Amino acid sequence: MVNAIYAVSVDGHYVGHDGFIVPKTTAEFLRRFPRWIRSYILLQDVAPSDRDEMEYRIISYLGSPGGSENAPEKLQEYSPEVTQRCDAPRFSIG
């Protein structure tokens, strides 16, 4: 499927106009971007003693099902239709 802002690859990944491939699962996200969550936390006003807890909570949230037990994890619910983009800057840290 091709759209002005993205395409869908054979294996079901969204691919942005710039070639960026959106991770499909939390495990893939963490494998490809292992420092993303920690970098995000460092940009927030979080006490150093609370950073590990916040990181754990974000990872748990991303991997949790949305709504029901059989629902996909949060990252699998990502939709470029809603965000209007799925390029590399959409997933970068400030």
- Domain assignments of the chain as residue spans, ordered by start: 1-22+78-94, 24-77
Average pLDDT over residues 61-85: 75
pLDDT 10s digits, 1-60: 555 678 999 999 999 989 999 998 888 989 999 999 999 999 999 999 999 999 999 988
pLDDT score at 3 = 57
Query: Residue 29: how many CA atoms within 13 Å on its side-chain side?
Result: 19
Model pTM score:
0.78
Average pLDDT over residues 62-78: 73
